[in-house]
Structure 1
């Protein structure tokens, strides 16, 4: 772990970004541009989507991307609390601790960046649904070790895959593309660190501990994936949130998007023995795992 942490510290020194400087916060939004890829939106291809005008679809994209960003911010706050709690008893002279503290600094900047981007869009920071928000309080208090880093990896990986595509899409607002680019470049280090932590710790687990970490990680995957698009976003374009949520969760296009977002991280977790038979139904309900898997 020392070699990995030392390498990540060097990378952080060479390639860190300050969103206050890198992003032109005073630039106006561009009329007619999307806020995310329309094909990745939750209602794409549904009867409700077909009934919306182009302007309504673009407006909905603004609310959906802000919901996803605010859920990302919410989970980054959970991440920071879990890592800070662990570092309380860590060796404060080690490269691992120094890198973890560096990552906390990155996440503070990312949280501010997401908050500013949402404010620039002029829409609410929807965040997780009320029920999931309450569950998050309990999760951050009890998760540690393997399930903490595996859960961090789930949240980071699914957003990373989505943002890597988004940042290259010229149909999308420059502000959103730049926010995504900054996040992707720095999250690559965070995911390397989380993978290393999982790989190092899984072999040391007892069978009961492995079962617990499998369960906690699967529940986190369900919690994060299902709350990415807060149902309240649909009301912004005059849709009934309950009906829109129903159509979104039953939408083959959106199901395929979530499975695509979860593909890489689930392959890694499976390799590490963290996707057991008892947890597969939860992963499938999260839609991060295809129903046919």
Structure 2
């Protein structure tokens, strides 16, 4: 017997929105290379080193180059997260009824995510940067996520990344100091990810509807660990060594940078507010978010 699809109208509305408001990569175009050399890679206030003594000692050109290295890595982490999301979603829906509204939107979301990954890869190249190899811990975490994440945990960890990038990219898209390749890709991502975040929130609520208090408690901690890995993964030793900085000095400056902590808390605020509303912000989870500078 087929279970009724109570959320069908919601997912139908998301699919209609996707059909009405989506972008073709051909519309984005190639960034003006003449602008890239005298622009920041991202809004400089989002650099983890902003307002540190290291930042103060850098020339304007070095600051621009540093933010290009940093944003190239940030976009690489976004690609890593989007690929992991697709693996999880497609694996768990391989035999699902393809006519269900939520499955049809899932197909559309995976199509969007593939194009976003391609768009980010192109932006990295337009900035004159290369992909920064992820730490082994990130690769191991990705395997654990793809293999073992369940229901609300899978969707919430992905939502964590989407929410954090959404706040960052709203700034990047509106900042004329930022390279055109990043501004354009950020604008497209913000518009299209709004649907994906709505989808993830609804799926989390659906999964939580009938879970026990014990499972909700465990899921809250698992989600916090996933968000912690994403946040810490944005700081990569190779980025700063590639910019000619001693890693220990850069790490110390970042770890003690109150501005960086404030910006990360701002980025995570919509996500943590959602978790609190769904009773997914228990005491151990809060402690983990504080270690991640997300709370």
TM-score over 0.5 (shorter chain): yes
RMSD over aligned CA atoms reads 1.2
Structure 1 residues not aligned, in runs of 5+: none
- Partner residue, 1:8: 14
2:134 aligned residue = 128
Question: Which 4+ runs in 1 deviate beyond 6 A?
Answer: none
Cα shift at 1:26:
5.8
Q: 1:192 aligns with which of 193, 198, 205?
A: 198
Q: Does 1:106 find its partner at 2:112? A: yes
Measure how far apart 1:37 and its partner are: 0.9
- How many corresponding residue pairs? 288
Which is worse superposed, 218-227 or 196-205? 196-205
Match of 2:207 among 187, 201, 212: 201
Deviations 1:108-160 (A, max 9, x none): 10111111111222212125322122121111110021001111111100000
Who is 2:4 aligned against?
none
**CA displacement at 1:237 relative to structure 2:** 2.4
1:236 Cα offset (Å): 2.7
2:242 aligned to which of 231, 236, 241: 236
The structure-2 alpha-carbon separation of the partners of 1:283 and 1:98, relative to structure 1 and needing over 3 Å to count, comes to same
Q: Which residue of 1 aligns with 2:29?
A: 24
- 8 Å CA contact 2:264–2:293 kept in 1: the answer is yes
Which of 50, 54, 62 is equivalent to 2:68? 62
Aligned to 2:278: 272
Judge conservation of contact 1:86–1:144 (CA < 8 Å) in 2. Answer: no
Is residue 281 from structure 1 mapped to residue 291 from structure 2 by the alignment? no
Q: Name 1:254's counterpart in structure 2.
A: 260
CA contact (8 A) 2:32 2:180 kept: no
State the Cα deviation string for residues 230-287 of structure 1 (Å, max 9, x = none): 1211123211122202211210010001000001110001110111112111111111
Q: Deviations over 1:171-191 (max 9, x none)?
A: 111111000001111000000
TM-score by length of 1: 0.95
More moved, 228-237 vs 65-74: 228-237
* 2:152 corresponds to: 146
Give 5+ residue unaligned stretches, structure 2: 1-6
Contact 1:76–1:107 (Cα < 8 Å) also in 2: yes
